[in-house]
Structure 1
Amino acid sequence: MGDLLEHDALSLSGMLARKELSAVELMQATLAQITAWNPRVNAIVSAIDPDQALALAAKADNAKRMGWLHGIPVAIKDLANAQGLETSMGSPVFAGQVAQADDLYVARMRAAGALIIGKTNVPEFGLGSHTFNPVHGATVNPYDPGRSAGGSSGGAAAALATRMLAIADGSDMMGSLRNPAAWCNVYGLRPTWGRIPNEPTGDMYLHPLATNGPMGRSPADIAALLEVQAGRDPVQPFGVAHNNVSRGLDAPIQGMRIGWLADWGGAYPMEDGIVQRCDAALQVFRDLGAVVEHLAPPFPASKIWDSWQVLRWFAVAAKLEPLYRQEKTRAQLKPAAIWEIENGLALSAMQVQRASALRSEWFRAAAVMFEQFDAVVLPTAQVWPFPVDDIHPTRINGQPMDTYHRWMEVVVPASLIGLPALSVPVGFGVNGLPMGMQLIGAARADNTVLHLGQAYHQATLWPQKMPPRQP
């Protein structure tokens, strides 16, 4: 059983289905791994009692299989509700709040047989790509405990890298699952917006920026989890019809066309070694028969950023304004949240309209771009994992960052218009730290980026070749 947790989630599922492995045995191995690793990285929070976890596994062993996740331990990102577990969102405002029901995609995972054993750590309200908060503390990078694991899905990425979990959920507004995947040497997919429905609460029309998504140690695992999480919700106005995103993942990619955007013509400052590491990784696609071409910026980065700033302020303020209005809860909000809210509250309706028009303009330009390319590529991050005690990077190569999240700008082109984007590992820098690059597809082309990602994965196997050192 020593190498059991090196298997990917689909392999474990097959072993469980064939009775080569029991859910109790898998849970015992998982709990032992959590005992060994979690005190070091602080990725899993609000965990259930081990005896309760083993009882769940025993029940699964004696039950009819519910789906491919049957008997597999999972922990849910602490921005989502899992019935009976605390949903703190990393905020003292909600510390101790126990969920009375599952969120929609969590219910779908549970219905497929997942055994929910805890939550994964996040930044406060998911703001900022650095997982620390006053409720559960900081999640550190498995490859260097003095460095950040990224965020907001930093707990999920660190748990995957350390084999505490075989599969995980994440969410992504501004790179929240892509950035930690890159920094923890795993995979993360931001799916086409609407493929995984959000919660049917409050306004369902005006704020299509964030989405939930799957994370794993292979694109095949990610595709399988996406098929569980995805599917239109009849009480929501938008959504993408469910289809088989796993089809043809192992087919050759010869002749597929990839556009390499690098640093968007110099618009995105990058720390040394990042563009070079991604450029070297693209040779894998050439070796597999794909065509890789340098691509000039298809749209002004400044327009994308201007649109993003306004629409993000608008969305965050709409969500958190009730907490801001109350003096007691406002005092418990971190400065980044207050900054987002106050900027959002100051917007006029016409400012939001102009930002949405810019977003529409970028979508049209991107559609033309994807007439020539099956996918385009950008680095997943502009900086290497930074010291865990820092709040956020303030400069890149001497260039000041004018907001707390400007250093994450490279993820915005996909986020703004809801494109599918898969972060794949590209190896390690001379500093020994991981990095990734984004494979970005046309709207609703999730299968295409997963297909490219799976071919790349089979040729590289970065998560399997370079796991973090055992504590």
Structure 2
Amino acid sequence: MDQLVTLDALALSASIRSKEISCREVMQAYLDHIEKINPLVNAIVSLRPAEELLGEAKRADQLLAQGMYLGWMHGMPQAPKDLASCRGIPTSKGSPLSSLKPDLNDAICVARVREAGAIFIGKTNVSEFGLGSNSYNPVFGVTRNAYDTSRIAGGSSGGAGAALAMRMLPVADGSDMMGSLRNPAAFNNVYGFRPTQGRVPYGAGGELFLQQLSTEGPMGRTVADVARLFATQAGYDHHCPMSGDTDVTGDAGQLERDFKGARIGWLGNYDGYLPIEEDVMALCEAALSDFTDLGCKVEQCQPDYPMEKLWETWLVHRHWLVGGNLGACFADPAQRGLLKPEAQWEVESGLHLTAADIFRASAARSDWYRAIHKLFEQYDYLLLPSAQMFPFDTATKWPRKVAGREMDTYHRWMEVVIGPTLAGLPAMSVPVGFGTNGLPMGMQIIGPARDDLGVLQLAHALEGLRPWASQAPLAVARGI
């Protein structure tokens, strides 16, 4: 295995800019590595022809020789999530209903990465239309976990998480509605950051005002890499009226902060409300001592809010938004049959909602935000597990039980992630080690609205104590 692929994104960037290594060398190393590793996990899809990519890398070298440096991602291989448009590559969304013609335009976050100099090699695999935290679909199949290929990689950014862990990408993008940046990060021992709602412009195209649950964001093997990619993605764009600016610059020095005396609230399993596997809780609870070692004061806390009501609120919002996005497909009997049953259920449930239902759910969501804001009057940051269970077998589409409790929907097993989403808060999944089964797990660091920098700083401080993400999967460690 070429050691170039093991470099973190910022180290790779510095080596390219100083001309220690050429962009063509980097591209060849990644393509060779992908050829060996990708069949194990099926993370990268729609891979472009090698000759085209090597030609683009050669042109990137020529630009450098002429003194033209495009940005920190100059010549760096990238593969956007297969929900985001990328000029020249099809966006399948994991569905046979999608056109396989190459896109003509970039999504905003993709365009910003392109402007920073990246070369797009293909896409990363997703769950069908991004629905569900298991990245399988009828177009490309299932993505497997980097640490145990018999298990799932999570989703819907599962391809991104597995590709990043397997060193097939130096840094990766994803999107997060129901933990789709956080869950794959936890399952693949990397960092996944869901920013404050609006910090990364979403789209463009389509409906601009109501889609306020999902956001795009970065993933990386170091917090510094995540911060740098986030700084590239984030910032106002006039195509997205709900977008806003950010104070994260991506400079390494900006991440340094003393957390002595910081107040941390541990939400745990919401006082027994959430079923969470015992070993998951044990890992997260053991990690609390790391925050204490940083000088933080950690206390158990609970929001003053009925958690079952939060789930009901979530269902209304999700049915409404998914139904709006896929309603036309569902209305056509020929297309409906090509939607997975879980997608059909979402749309059909949305058809029964009234305007009053949606308003009540929005009011309940507002109450949830106020309850969380009340906690932030007492605590600087909050902690939650990133998932309720470890990655399960790829033959299972979704688990019917978690910690002995029945799951009544295909996504209830990831209920732990909906709180930050509904409140629009920044939340980052940080690795907390490996269970007795050898599988990785993560924990969410949640900050108050717009404190994206603080969340990144706390994650960076924790990384200094416990650099779990440096422990590569066995296939990578053996140099396969």
TM-score, normalized by length of structure 2?
A: 0.96
Match of 1:214 among 211, 218, 225: 218
In 1, distance between residues paired with 2:258 and 2:4? 30
Which sections of structure 2, spanning at least 5 residues, go unmatched?
none
Question: 1:160 touches 1:167 (CA, 8 Å); kept in 2?
Answer: yes
Q: How far does residue 349 in structure 1 lie from its aligned partner after superposition? A: 0.2
Query: 1:184: which partner in 2?
Result: 188
Aligned twin of 2:449: 443
Instruction: State the partner residue of 1:12.
Output: 12
Q: How many positions carry a matched residue from both structures?
A: 471
2:242 is matched with which residue? 238
1:4 shift after superposition: 2.3
Q: Contact between 1:265 and 1:297, CA under 8 Å: does it hold in 2?
A: no
- Indicate the percent of aligned positions where both proteins have the same amino acid: 50
The 2-side partners of 1:316 and 1:116 are apart by 29
Cα displacement string for residues 239-283 of structure 1 (whole angstroms, at most 9, x for unaligned residues):
222322546312222222211111011111011211110111121
Mapped partners of 2:474, 2:51: distance in 1:
28
Residue equivalent to 1:86: 90
Alignment of 1:41-440 (within 5 A): 41-63=41-63, 64-94=68-98, 96-246=100-250, 248-440=254-446
SS of 2:105's equivalent in the other structure is coil
Distance in 2 separating the partners of 1:137 and 1:207:
28
- Match of 1:67, SS? coil
State how far apart, in whole Å, the 2-side matches of 1:123 and 1:293 are.
37
Q: Is the 8 A contact 2:248 2:452 kept in 1?
A: no
Deviation at 1:95? 5.0
**In structure 2, distance between residues paired with 1:124 and 1:370:** 36
Say if 1:246 and 1:447, in contact at 8 Å, map to a contact too.
no
**Whole-Å separation in 1 of the counterparts to 2:302 and 2:202:** 34
Q: Aligned partners of 2:55, 2:292: CA distance in 1, in Å?
A: 49
Please report how far the alpha carbon of residue 29 of structure 1 lies from its aligned counterpart in structure 2 after TM superposition: 1.2
Q: 2-side partners of 1:56 and 1:157: how far apart?
A: 25
Kindly report which structure 2 residues correspond to 1:25-40, keeping only aligned pairs within 5 A, or say none: 25-40=25-40
Paired residues of 1:5 and 1:29 also in contact (CA < 8 A): yes
Q: Secondary structure at the match of 1:423?
A: strand
Deviations 1:108-141 (A, max 9, x none): 1100101110000001001000011100011001
What does the per-residue CA deviation read over 1:301-330, in whole Å, with 9 as the maximum and x for residues that have no partner?
Answer: 112111111001110001110111112111
Change (3 A) 1:467 1:252: farther
Q: What does the per-residue CA deviation read over 1:154-213, in whole Å, with 9 as the maximum and x for residues that have no partner?
A: 000000000000100000000011001000000000001100111232322223100001
Residues 1:201 and 1:2: Cα distance change in structure 2 (over 3 Å):
closer
CA distances 1:371-397 after superposition (whole Å, capped 9, x unpaired): 222210000000110000101011012
- Residues 27-57 of structure 1: CA deviation (Å, up to 9, x unaligned): 1111111011001110000010111111111
Match of 2:463 among 457, 465, 469: 457
The Cα offsets for residues 55-86 of structure 1, whole Å up to 9 and x where unpaired, read as: 11111111111111111101010001111111
SS in structure 2 at match of 1:283: helix
- Report the CA distance between 1:220 and its aligned residue: 1.0
Rounded to whole Å, the distance in 2 between the matches of 1:151 and 1:430 is: 23
1:358, CA displacement in angstroms?
Answer: 0.5
Contact 1:162 1:468 in 2 (8 A): no
Query: Are residues 458 and 446 of structure 1, via their aligned partners in 2, closer, same or farther at CA, if it must alter by over 3 Å?
Result: same
Structure 1: 4+ residue segments shifted above 3 A? none
Q: Tell me if structure 1 keeps the 8 A contact 2:303–2:375.
A: no
Distance 2:264 2:472 in 1: 26
Matched AA of 1:41: V
SS at match of 2:240: coil
Q: Secondary structure at the match of 2:442?
A: strand
Separation (CA, whole Å) in 2 of partners of 1:389 and 1:397: 19
Distance 2:207 2:137 in 1: 27
SS in 2 for 1:144: coil
Question: Conserved in 2, the CA contact under 8 Å of 1:414 and 1:440?
Answer: yes
Contact 1:57 1:71 in 2 (8 A): yes
User: SS of 1:286's equivalent?
Assistant: helix
1:318 alignment partner AA: G
Q: CA RMSD in A?
A: 1.3
Quick check: 1:95–1:135 contact (8 Å CA) kept in 2? no
Structure 1 gaps, min length 5: none
- Native 8 Å contact 2:229 2:250 kept in 1: no
Give the Cα separation in 1 of the matches to 2:288 and 2:475: 27
Query: What is residue 21 of structure 2 aligned with on the other side?
Result: 21
